[in-house]
Amino acid sequence: MSGRYWEHFPHQADMGVRGVGPSREAAFEQAALAMTAVVTDPARVLPATPVDIRCEAPDDELLLVDWLNALILEMAARHMLFSHFDITLEGQRLNAVAWGEPVDPERHQPAVEIKGATYTELSVSQNESDQWQAQCVVDV
Amino acid sequence: MNPSRFQQVSNVEWRIEPFGAMRVPAVIYADEALIREMDDKVLEQLTNVAALPGIVEAAYAMPDAHWGYGFPIGGVAAFDAEEGGVVSAGGVGFDISCGVRTLHTGLRAADIAPLKQRFADRLFANIPAGVGSTGQLRLNPGEMDAMLRGGARWAVDRGYGSVADLDRIEEHGCMAGAEPGQVSEQAKRRQRDEIGTLGSGNHYLELQEVVEIYDDKAAERFRLRQGEVVVSIHCGSRGLGHQIGTEFLRQMVIAAPGHGIVLPDRELACAPINSTLGQAYLGAMRAAINCALANRQVLTHLAREVFADLLPGTHLNLIYDVSHNTCKLEPHTVDGRSRRLYVHRKGATRAFGPGHPALPADLRDIGQPVLIGGSMGTASYILAGTEEGMTRAFSSACHGAGRAMSRHQATRQWHGRALVDELASQGILIRSPSLRGVAEEAPGAYKDVSAVVEAAHRAGLARKVAKLRPLVCIKG
């Protein structure tokens, strides 16, 4: 399967988020969308306000967790949801702009708050057809 | 899980002797049916915990154990600092000091029956719940640090509740050794407007009716009478605790090789207790415990406001407040020798038996109240710590039902609106900002809490005192 997409995978108490795309950036972007989808339908979230996010980690996997946790921090502290991401990766350094809007309980019907991205089922990999996949379980 | 993988010690105790890297045995307290329901991951995680440096006696799992992060949820492990023991951010979890408190109202279910709808609506209006909700308090940096040092005592000093509440909270409402300076600015930023909020997921505030009494003497001392109404609150340290968990997990993963620790699973991230990182985590984690205690204290105040409005003269007296995601330094007797151990309880409730000096004087001969939250729409239980429990799993018991199916499966099987209507027809009023959240928390998505409690009772971890049935449930 080619293209870029996200999906959830089951974890007994929580939820796994998986992003797939033609580049690491695309996979990280799709994983972030999958995370928004744990809370609400991303299509309902207007990409109105930009928030800058930077992180750096010793390897790709820790970088994915750092990226998702940086988003979780902004979601929690700003009471926002995000639906569009512009990501630049240089080695293990990530620069991104996440676009979103404040939570509107009526419109978003947010199902659950995300506490943190975890190292469970964590992987960032590239397959034979050069597709990147980035995934982990998030604690809700 | 296949029970034949274990040596069966009794109907409710299963054991595996150390193999591979394990330093101590793994022990699960559960009946055979619960063992069969458990994911194989529980055993894998338990054997990993048993391999951590400085672990004492055994790695334990409670009857509600399920697949967690590094440690199983429902896991208990104690470490000796003098033997190279570790403290694990994964062994405490993201929701530091998540716990339950239960308050006595003195009202009969019949007294509130005509007001049930109003109670549901008023509580839902007064208790901030769900994603994006904020509390009434805004903490400046000085107040944030005071809260992180003072816990529920800080809240009482500011008019949220009374001094009498403090005696009925673990650590008398204030965890010693908290170091607000070890809590990052990000964690504090996440908490600025979250004090006095319920959160989401399986967190709730419920009005419950006492429907069964199993132990008259303990029930009387806990002021539990059949047909009476209690208020229970289940929540934790909110964003601050989550952020501390996230940050220290990362630091411990990266520092592990430098500490000579091999992690079979990164979620087991830990640091020697006697290390700078280990001590920093303990200081921050204890601050998060205070945050959880302060949060439940403010939520209690908000519930009291609603009762004062709808039924003036009602007194909500705290029965007890106990956390189930912590690491605490406690004296325990192991092989006849008294030792001070760092006991991790991840989804496990402390259950001190009769005579324990940490208990309030008026409960000391009975044992500690052990509060077991059920899922929305099912039962909750109150148990009491036992004498025999002091020699089992370091005085620990189960904490709840534990999920039986994923959130995904739950949303495929149930719809929020239909579930709310069905529960209403059973006399259980649900109020939640999110119908999808309600579906994900469907009672059927959880294990049978009664089976879990029965196993804990039979294993002697704690003894049954009373069963509670929900009347009104405010969900995040």
Cα(B416)–Cα(B436) distance, rounded to whole angstroms?
6
Q: What is the mean pLDDT of the segment spanning B232-236?
A: 97
**CB distance B200–A110 less than 8 Å?**
yes
Q: Which H helix or E strand runs over B378?
A: none
A77 close contact with B: CB closer than 8 A: yes
Distance from the Cα of B220 to chain A's closest Cα (Å) equals 36
Give the pLDDT confidence of B194-226 residue by residue, as tens digits.
999 999 888 999 999 999 999 999 999 999 999
- Mean pLDDT computed over B73-102: 96
- Per-residue pLDDT of A5-21, as tens digits, reads 999 998 877 899 999 99
- Minimal Cα distance from A8: which residue of B? B408
Residue B447: pLDDT band by 50, 70, 90 thresholds? confident
A:B CB pairs within 8 Å: 128
Residue range B156-196, pLDDT digits in tens: 999 999 999 999 999 999 999 999 999 999 999 999 999 99
* B409·A113 Cβ contact <8 A: no
Select from B188, B202, B253, B407 the residue whose CB has the most chain A CBs within 10 Å, as the one to mutate to test that interface.
B407
- Residue B104: φ, ψ to 5°: -90, 135
Helix (H/G/I), strand (E/B), else coil: A110: coil
Neighbours of B106 (CB within 10 A): 15
Note whether A93 contacts B: Cβ–Cβ < 8 A. no
Residue B297 in contact with residue B237, Cβ under 8 Å?
Answer: no
Q: Is A120 on the interface with B (CB under 8 A)?
A: yes
Tell me, what's the ipTM?
0.93
- The β-bridge relationship of strands B429-431 and B462-475 is parallel
Q: Which residue(s) pair with A6 in the sheet?
A: A19
Strands B462-475 vs B204-213: parallel, antiparallel or unpaired:
antiparallel
The CB density around residue B125, as the number of other CB atoms within 10 Å, is 11
Identify whether the C-beta of residue A103 lies closer than 8 Å to the C-beta of residue B132.
yes
DSSP character for B75?
E
B399 is catalytic: yes
Does residue B245 register a pLDDT over 90? Answer: yes
Q: What is the pLDDT of residue B377?
A: 79
Q: What is the DSSP string of B93-147?
A: -SSTT-EEEEEEEEEEHHHHGGGHHHHHHHHHHHS--STT---S----HHHHHHH
Q: Spell out which residues of chain A touch residue B266, defining contact as CB-CB under 8 Å.
A: 119, 122
Q: Which amino acid is at B357?
A: P
Mutate to test the interface with B, among A112, A123, A138 (most CBs of B within 10 A): A112
Bridge partner list, B468: B210, B380
**What global pTM score does this model have?**
0.96
Give B320's pLDDT tier (boundaries 50, 70, 90). Answer: very high
Say whether pLDDT at A2 is over 80.
no
Q: What is the pLDDT of residue B374?
A: 86
Q: Which residues on chain A are in Cβ contact (under 8 Å) with B201?
A: 112-113, 140
CB contact under 8 A, A117 and B246: yes
Q: Which residues pair with B342 in a beta bridge?
A: B79, B329
Say if the Cβ atoms of A73 and B200 lie within 8 Å. Answer: no
Phi and psi based region of residue A52 (left: phi greater than 0; alpha: psi -120 to 50; beta: remaining): beta
Type of residue found at B152: A
